[in-house]
Structure 1
């Protein structure tokens, strides 16, 4: 691979080739990044909901046990 880029100017290696890669694979990259961000957001929502449920259940159980048995 180095032999291909050996005689080319620096701007071809560092500007033109990455720009062409972004143009060609830009949609794929955006799809993957969007999927990962969406997955992380759903994971965050899941953790928040489970944490809230555990908090509510513990608070309810502590409150019901202090009132005594009916």
Structure 2
């Protein structure tokens, strides 16, 4: 018996309201952990990109000013 056959005789609110609510209650902590991990990872990647970009900017500025005789 497939899942589609089980849900075929159910009202629409069971498929679209009750089942998602049960999933959120049961797996809510796991979902929150995964979302938090992904957001934290994206934030760290953003900080890394900003720091590397700043380092490249400072090194280029230093290299160009050292050719002219100073900062």
1:66 corresponds in structure 2 to: 68
Aligned residue number for residue 36 of structure 1: 38
Describe how 1:1-70 pairs up with structure 2 within 5 A: 1-67=3-69
- Quote the Cα distance in structure 2 between the aligned partners of 1:10 and 1:35: 33
- Structure 1 Cα separation of the partners of residues 29 and 39 of structure 2: 15
Q: SS of the counterpart of 1:8?
A: coil
- Alignment TM-score, normalising by the size of structure 2: 0.92
Matched residues, number? 68
Cα deviation code 1:3-52 (max 9, x no counterpart): 11111110000000000000000000000000000000000000000000
| Gap regions ≥5 residues in structure 1 | none
Q: Which runs of 4+ in 1 moved over 6 A?
A: none
- Superposition RMSD in Å: 1.1
